């Protein structure tokens, strides 16, 4: 696909598992909890189940009452404890929340986003996590500064509800046709496409997470499938170079 001219005017990014290694905090918290309770459950299996419960609960919140992500993480953790008959407590979610300050960038994130901004596009970062945690992630940039940083906590509409993507566009005076969306989670890509955005699915392998799940096995595929944020830079170069 090529849209010649001055497209895109902005690149619109998901944050967790796309720009920031959010999966690390899940795997590390899971290891801590398995050890704490002396469980023989494999840490990877505990993490996978925890994430699957989270994804199931979280998608429901996109079309119902807004629920802080941490509350959904906690609910999923309780379900995981019950599955493996581990006598854990909802308060054990602290094993996850206390790690959020240490969630770091993926290796190519800062260089790629800086290069994209240098090509004349704006860079947006928008996340389902609470703003306090998102700000912790964004603080890891050494030089790069996003043109817009937002959380679904602000409009109180979770992804993949199309309304939440439109909220970001409205905040920045843009239309869906102006923007390239990029995310690793498949459901996030589907939501963006439902909102009318051209989307790139980042096939980033993340242990224990569902981020590498294809956007759809039966529906319309993403406009682009990529394996690195540097490929987003190339997409911008190919399109903006035509105008």
- Cβ–Cβ under 8 Å, residues 20 and 107: no
Residue range 115-123: mean pLDDT, rounded:
96
- Is 23-101 in CATH node 1.10.150? yes
Domain with CATH 1.10.150 in the chain: 23-101
* Least confident window among 176-180, 194-198, 217-221: 217-221
Domain with CATH 3.40.50.1000 in the chain: 10-21+103-240
- Cβ–Cβ under 8 Å, residues 192 and 201: no
Residue range 229-243: mean pLDDT, rounded:
86
CA distance 108 to 229: 7
pLDDT of 219 reads 63
- Cβ–Cβ under 8 Å, residues 198 and 223: yes
Q: Which two tokens stand for residue 155?
A: 């409009």
pLDDT of 196 reads 96
**CATH architecture observed for domain 10-21+103-240:** 3-Layer(aba) Sandwich (3.40)
Look at residue 179 and give its three-state secondary structure: strand
Helices (H), the chain: 22-36, 43-61, 69-83, 94-97, 109-118, 131-138, 162-171, 186-194, 229-240
> 43-86, pLDDT tens digit by residue?
999 999 999 999 888 888 888 889 999 999 999 999 999 999 99
Locate tokens 């589907």: which residue? 190
pLDDT of 69 reads 95
> Does this model's pTM top 0.85?
yes
């Amino acid at each position: 696909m090529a849209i010649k001219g001055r497209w895109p005017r902005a690149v619109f990014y998901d944050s967790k598992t796309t720009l920031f290694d959010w999966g690390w905090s899940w795997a590390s918290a899971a290891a801590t909890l398995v050890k704490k309770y002396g469980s023989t459950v494999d840490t990877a299996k505990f993490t996978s189940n925890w994430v699957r419960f989270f994804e199931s609960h979280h998608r429901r919140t996109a079309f119902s009452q807004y629920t802080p992500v941490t509350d959904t993480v906690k609910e999923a953790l309780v379900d995981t404890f019950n599955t493996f008959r581990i006598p854990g407590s909802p308060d054990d979610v602290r094993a996850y929340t206390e790690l959020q300050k240490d969630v770091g960038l993926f290796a190519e994130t800062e260089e790629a986003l800086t290069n994209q901004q240098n090509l004349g596009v704006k860079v947006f970062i928008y996340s389902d996590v609470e703003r306090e945690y998102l700000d912790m992630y964004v603080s890891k940039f050494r030089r790069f500064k996003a043109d817009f940083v937002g959380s679904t906590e602000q409009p109180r509409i979770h992804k993949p509800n199309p309304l939440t993507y439109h909220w970001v566009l409205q905040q920045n005076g843009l239309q869906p046709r102006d923007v390239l969306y990029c995310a690793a989670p498949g459901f996030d890509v589907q939501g963006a496409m439902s909102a009318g955005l051209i989307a790139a699915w980042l096939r980033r392998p993340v242990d224990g997470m569902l981020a590498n799940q294809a956007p759809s096995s039966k529906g319309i595929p993403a406009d682009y499938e990529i394996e690195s944020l540097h490929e987003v830079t190339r997409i911008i170069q190919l399109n903006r170079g035509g105008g």
